[in-house]
Structures are given as C-alpha cells and as structure tokens.
Structure 1
Amino acid sequence: MSLARFTVCILLMFVASPLAWGQSSVPGLYDARVQVESQADDERRRATREGLEQVVVRMTGQREVLGDESVRDLVRGADRYVQQFGFETRETDDGDQLELRLRFDGQALQRALAEREISVWVEADRPRVLIWLAIDRAGDRELVGGDTALDVQQLVRDGARDAGLPVLMPLQDLEDRQRLSSSDVWGGFRGPILEASARYRAEVVLVGRLDRRGQEFAGRWLLFRDGETQEWSATDEELDAVLAAGTSGAAERLARALGRRPGERVVGDFTLQVDGLQGLADFTYVHRLLGETRGVGGVDVLRADGETLYLRIRLEGDSDRFIRDVEQGGRLERVRSDSMTSPAADAPTVDLGFRLRG
C-alpha cells in the first residue's frame, strides 16, 4: 500500500468510527443510591432529594455547601435533574433492603451550580490518589493491598466512590514489601512512603493507620501533596465510617485546593503534532491515549503525513497537567519545537509537540 493511500485509510478510519473518547475518570460521579421504605411517590421524591445532596457534595467536595440557601433551593427541585431512576432490592445482613438508584444530569447540575456561584471540583482536576493503609489486628500489623484484607479494600473503594475520589491501592508485591514496611506506614514516615509510591505515579498519597480501641475503631490519616502534609483523625464504632473519614477527608481538602469558581475553568482547543508513528497500531494507540486522558473532551484528526500525525483536542483543565498525564500514561514524550519533524507548508499551526517512543 502506498504512503498516500495508507494516510487516507487512517483518516477515514477515525472519521468513520466515532468513539466515546474523554470518558469520565470518576465513574458514578452523578449517580446516587438511597434506601427507601416503599416505591410510593412521596418516598421517591424524598429519596431523590437525598440523592441529589450526595451528588452535589461529590461535585463540590464540600458538605457544608448544603447549607447554602441557593443549593437548598436546587435540591428542592431535584426531580428536574434526574436522567434515570429505578428501584432495586439488595441483600444485607439485616435482610432485603429496597433502594432507589438515580442518575442525574451532570451538565445541567454544573450549569445550575455555576449560576449559584458555587465552586465545582471538575473531573479534570481530580488527581489519582494512592492509599497506603496499615491495620493493627490485636498487635499484628499488616498493609492493605494486593490479596491482603480484600474486605477492607472494598470498603475503601466504596468510600472513595461516594467522595468522587479516584484511588488505587498498592500491589503489595515483592517490590512494595522490599521498599516499605507496615512500621513505615504506621509511623507516617514521609521519605520511605513517597519513595515506594513513585512507581505508581500518583499525584497524591493518602496514608492511614487503623486499630481498635475498646468498642471503637480509630484512624489517623495523612495527605501528602506538593510537598505539604495534612493530618486528621476519626473514631467510630463502625469500620466503614472510619475508612470513609479518610477518603472523604482527602476529597474535602483536595477540593478546597483545586475547586474552581464559575468562570475559572480553563477550556480551549490545542493542536498537537505527534512524530514517530510507524503504522496503524501506532495511530490507533495515540488517538486512544489522548482520548482517555482526563480533561480531554474530544480528539479530532486533522492530518497524517507519513510518520507524523496532527490532531486537535478539546481540553478542560490545566495544560501542564495534561502534558504530565500524557507523559506518565504511556509512550508519548514532549519535544521542543526545534526537535519536531519539519511540517509541510500547509500543515496546521502546532501548540504542543510529542514523539512516540518505540
């Protein structure tokens, strides 16, 4: 196949095959589930308002926002923001429990909060959080992750989902065990923890230690971000409540730092040049990688010239964060303009240049 014909096939493939790029990095951000006593209309409306409160807290990262009169007014009209709902029976230790499952219109809610001048913690600004958790079970300490304490890991993920926090747990493989001990995590020793975290490329590290004191569980939490450390603690008779205090506490602190007032959101189109592509697999890889990078709302192929691909992306968020995510996410590396392949005379003006590593 000639180079010209191959290039035409590449462009036709991307035009003829619309894909859902730029999907949410926080699954379930606009979903809620609420226990109900029945499927009666009054009970459904009550639960819908409660579900919207869950989503608003998740969108803003701040529970106190529910005290704002304009937000209370928004919640009173919760039905208008519902996209889907349904009832489901779930088995629990206390017997079958009826739940209302809801999905709200995220874009409409963002507009409604903007009109009320409420800060929103946009998905593009939600960093991935690595969680190191040490548990003391009657004097025997263990690190949670890998195949260890799977029940606790699920509770952590449930709490993170409710807080709208993208998280990952350590693998607890040989490399982790060699680099970090349960004593390091229990003591909150920043140096060893961050060294062991480097392999995961997480922007934020959440460290917890958990033990039982009488009838209560006690947890201490540390948040490492940008050279700063924040600390808080929680006690409760229920294990899930103490774990949720860790993920929700991290979400609240990150939202205060990263939430944006209406009008502060950075949205723009950027043209990218990517060099070093060798065939169809490389073209597909680059397109998929960019489309799945958080903050990217769309990817359009502008032109393909031999080993060079020109694309336009719709970016919501900080361009420096986008560059860092792309470089950490795979085989693309940023290059200076004088290191890029010389463009053809009619090639588009380029904002950012990358090269595909082999």
Structure 2
Amino acid sequence: MTILLKHLFEYLYSLRMRGYSLIDSRSNGAALLLVFFSIHSSFSVAAEFIDLYSVKLAVDSETKQQRLVASRKALETVFVRVTGDNDAVKKYPLLAENIAAADQLLARYSYYKDSKPSVHYETNQVMTKNARITAGRMLEHAQSSQLMIEFSFKPEAVKQLLMSASAPFWQASRPEVLIWLVVQEGAERTIVNSELSPSHFGRLEVAARRRGIPVAQPLLDLEELSKLNENDIWASSMDKIIASSDRYSHGAVLTGKISRRTSGQWYGQWTLSYQNSEQVEFFSGSDLFEFSHLGIDLVADKMANDYAVVTSEKRPNNEWMIHVDGIHSLQDFTQLSQSLRAVPALKSIRLHSVDQSSCYFYVDAVVQLQKIKALLALNGSLELQLPKDLIPNIEVEPLIDTTSLHYIWRQR
C-alpha cells in the first residue's frame, strides 16, 4: 500500500505540474487518488504523541487471578483516557459490559520489577475518589522494588468499541499543559518541579498519566526566577505567570498553591488559564493525591470538551471544504494528507483539485466547523486564514450554508 501511495502521489504531482485539475475526467490518476482518499481516510490516528493504550500497574504476584483483575482496572484507565471522561464506564453501558472481557482487547502484557516505584507507579484504581486516595497511599509507601505489569490494548479494537457505544474519542495528539505549583510548609514556600520536589511532581505525573495529559514544568533558571518567584505564584499574579509562560510551547497553563495547616489539613487552589479564560477550583483535605487529581481533571475536562469527538455512525455527517496554500513539493502534499487523516472527526477526505500551490479537499465530518478548527490547530504546520466561500463541486450540488476553512502550510 505504501508503494502504491508513493506512485499515486508522484503521478498526481506530475499532472499538477502539467496543469491538470484533479476533477478532470481525462485524469485517470486523479480518479485513483480520489478512490484512495475515500477508502483510506477513515477514522484513524496516524501519529500518536501520547500512549493512550498502555497502562502500568503494581501487583503482588504473577497469578492469573491478579492479572485478570489488573487488566480490568487497566482497561478502565484506557477508557478514561480515550474518551476524556472520568465517568466513561458509568455513562456508556457498552464500555462497562466489556470491562469483564478486557483480555479480548489486550494486545500484550509483561511483568517487570520497578526499582523506583515512587516515580513510575501508576494508579491501579481509576473510577472513584476513594480509590484514587488508596492508590496514592500505595505510591507513598511502595516497596523499594515493586513487581509491575504493563498492559497494551489494541487501538483499533478500542476505537471500534467507542463507536459502537457512541462514546467520544480524544485523539493522542494533545496540547501540553505547563504547571506552576508552589507548596508552603510553615513559613517556607517552594516552586515544584521534578528536581526540587520529586514527590509533589510525581503525584501530578500520576494524575496526568491517568487522564492522558502531557505536562511540562518550568526550567526555573536564573532568568526566569528574576521575573517570577514563588511569592508571585502564591499571589496568583496571572500577568506575570502568563508572561513567563510565553517562553514555553503549551496549550494551557495550570497554576496551583497548597499549604498545610497545623491540624495536618491541606488547603489549596488551582487556576486554569485556557483559551483566553480562567477557571478556579479550591481544595481542602488530607490527601495530596486528591489535590493533584483535582488540577489535572480540571484541565482534562476542559480540553476533552474541545477535542473529544463522538464518532457514532448514527450522527449526521457534514461536508466542508478545506483549502490549503503553500504546497510546493510532493513532501508537503504527503505530510498535509497525513495531517488530515490523523483527525478522527474526519470520516472521509476527497481531493477536489490542485491549482498551482493550492490544494482543495472535501471532508465528511461528524462535528461542526468550530471543532474541526480546534483539532487542526494542534498541527503547527497549518496556519488558519480567514474563511472563504465553498468552492462549488461540479459533480455534487453545493451544500446550503456551507463554508470552508482556509490554511497556509508552514513547513516546520
């Protein structure tokens, strides 16, 4: 298939250089390419930046019974990640029914010993607050060498199950979240990162792995600390925090502070800066894992609302035009087509025409235009331009009230 695709693209590009339009009936290569796009641009993810389908759990032994129990818990975690919904198993009965048959969705599993479980241990209880607290305590008191099992589930089987359940799917290409966190104990305040506060940052990593959220930490170098210190973060000086965050590539900024009182209780706050708005959540409790999950859940729920796509075949499709300028080579064309095929909301992609350095695609989507824009914004090579009117399809009646998206391809 790869060789066929290569030849098709080469033939297409030679036709384009000779001035042919891909909707010209004289172009047999165009017809082949249109068929190829219609067949092979279905619901799939070409490049995954987050491993959504692998879960590591602590176990006491290698018995079959423990493996079966652990596999069910691991599949629950996968369902939470891929749907973007903490309550996925409760909301979608078909997912709950398949938990008991987790082995049927399993690609492989393996055992290993983890010499640093405090860093790499992953929660093995995922659906309830009490379970997360239990997992957190297990992390803090983990043995120096912990027996672990890693499960890897079949991506296509999981995606097909989501479609059958009419559950959302959140693709693996996800915006990174920059975290600023200050911990106060007594009169001392410390900015958290993996070097200065490995236990605090480790809790955030556990929560982030559970939801499939990529997290970043500040460098805390001299230049940065001269502009932003722990007191600024504690005071939630958002202007300074956002200004210092501009040096990093991120999709959201999560700012937190947590303090322990003499009673042993922790009191804290998370502020999420995302899409030009802010949301604040407050915390009080005795367990820091609960605080970490509160912050990560705040981010994950917001992002999932923008990026998760329901791909049920029962949903009506919408046809849109995507116009991309700046395609100057076969490599550009190939990378562009791969980028479009990586968007799960696009059920099919049909090449309409090529004109000089511009390509026009018709896409059948299961979501509205705004969500397509949000999903394509994750690709740094596509720069959105002002929308244009839909180019008429000479073979199909133009859709009423349909618009297009116009991009410029910027090679990274």
- Shared fold per TM-score greater than 0.5: yes
Identity of aligned residues (%): 19
**CA separation in 2, counterparts of 1:65 and 1:22?**
21
**CA separation in 1, counterparts of 2:296 and 2:410?**
36
Change (3 A) 1:278 1:89: closer
Secondary structure of the 2:178 match is strand
1:193 matched to 2:253? The reply is no
Task: State whether residues 135 and 143 of structure 1, in contact with CA within 8 Å, keep that contact through their aligned partners in structure 2.
Answer: yes
The aligned counterpart of 1:97 is: 147
1:123 matched to 2:175? The reply is no
Superposed CA RMSD in Å reads 5.0
More strand by share: 1
Match of 2:14 among 5, 21, 24: 5
The aligned counterpart of 1:132 is: 179
Change (3 A) 1:4 1:289: closer
| Amino acid in structure 1 at the alignment position of 2:102 | D
Change (3 A) 1:235 1:256: farther
**CA separation in 2, counterparts of 1:294 and 1:187?**
41
**CA separation in 2, counterparts of 1:28 and 1:109?**
18
The aligned counterpart of 1:306 is: 356
1:54 matched to 2:107? The reply is no
Task: State whether residues 168 and 310 of structure 2, in contact with CA within 8 Å, keep that contact through their aligned partners in structure 1.
Answer: no
1:351 matched to 2:404? The reply is yes
1:123 Cα offset (Å) = 0.8
Secondary structure of the 1:337 match is coil
What does residue range 1-358 of structure 1 map to in structure 2 within 5 Å?
A: 5=14, 7=16, 22-23=45-46, 27-63=50-86, 70=93, 74=97, 77-79=100-102, 81-92=104-115, 93-103=143-153, 105-111=157-163, 113-114=165-166, 120-123=167-170, 128=175, 130-136=177-183, 139-142=188-191, 144=193, 153=201, 155-170=203-218, 180-197=228-245, 202-210=250-258, 219-225=268-274, 227-233=277-283, 235-236=285-286, 242-252=291-301, 268-292=318-342, 295-296=345-346, 301-313=351-363, 315-324=365-374, 326=376, 329-330=380-381, 332-337=383-388, 351-356=404-409
Task: State whether residues 136 and 142 of structure 1, in contact with CA within 8 Å, keep that contact through their aligned partners in structure 2.
Answer: yes
Change (3 A) 1:257 1:7: closer
1:97 Cα offset (Å) = 0.6
1:164 Cα offset (Å) = 2.6
Task: State whether residues 265 and 316 of structure 1, in contact with CA within 8 Å, keep that contact through their aligned partners in structure 2.
Answer: yes
Change (3 A) 1:300 1:193: farther
**CA separation in 1, counterparts of 2:330 and 2:67?**
51
**CA separation in 1, counterparts of 2:45 and 2:298?**
27
Task: State whether residues 132 and 207 of structure 1, in contact with CA within 8 Å, keep that contact through their aligned partners in structure 2.
Answer: yes
1:212 Cα offset (Å) = 5.5
Change (3 A) 1:330 1:181: farther
292-301 vs 224-233, which moves further = 292-301
220-229 vs 14-23, which moves further = 14-23
| Amino acid in structure 2 at the alignment position of 1:5 | S
The aligned counterpart of 2:5 is: none
Change (3 A) 1:301 1:43: same
**CA separation in 1, counterparts of 2:203 and 2:294?**
11
**CA separation in 1, counterparts of 2:13 and 2:300?**
50
**CA separation in 2, counterparts of 1:69 and 1:21?**
21
| Amino acid in structure 1 at the alignment position of 2:16 | T
Change (3 A) 1:39 1:183: same
Q: Deviations over 1:306-326 (max 9, x none)?
A: 222223445454422433554
1:88 Cα offset (Å) = 1.2
Change (3 A) 1:285 1:71: closer
Change (3 A) 1:187 1:71: farther
Unaligned runs of 5+ in 2: 1-9, 23-28, 116-142
**CA separation in 1, counterparts of 2:259 and 2:328?**
54
1:109 Cα offset (Å) = 3.2
**CA separation in 1, counterparts of 2:221 and 2:87?**
40
The aligned counterpart of 1:117 is: none
| Amino acid in structure 2 at the alignment position of 1:122 | F
**CA separation in 1, counterparts of 2:265 and 2:76?**
28
**CA separation in 2, counterparts of 1:256 and 1:4?**
39
Task: State whether residues 191 and 230 of structure 2, in contact with CA within 8 Å, keep that contact through their aligned partners in structure 1.
Answer: yes
| Amino acid in structure 1 at the alignment position of 2:322 | L
1:333 Cα offset (Å) = 3.2
**CA separation in 2, counterparts of 1:132 and 1:158?**
14
1:236 Cα offset (Å) = 4.6
**CA separation in 1, counterparts of 2:233 and 2:336?**
38
**CA separation in 1, counterparts of 2:68 and 2:51?**
21
**CA separation in 2, counterparts of 1:108 and 1:282?**
31
Unaligned runs of 5+ in 1: 115-119
Secondary structure of the 2:61 match is coil
Secondary structure of the 1:22 match is coil
Task: State whether residues 323 and 360 of structure 2, in contact with CA within 8 Å, keep that contact through their aligned partners in structure 1.
Answer: yes
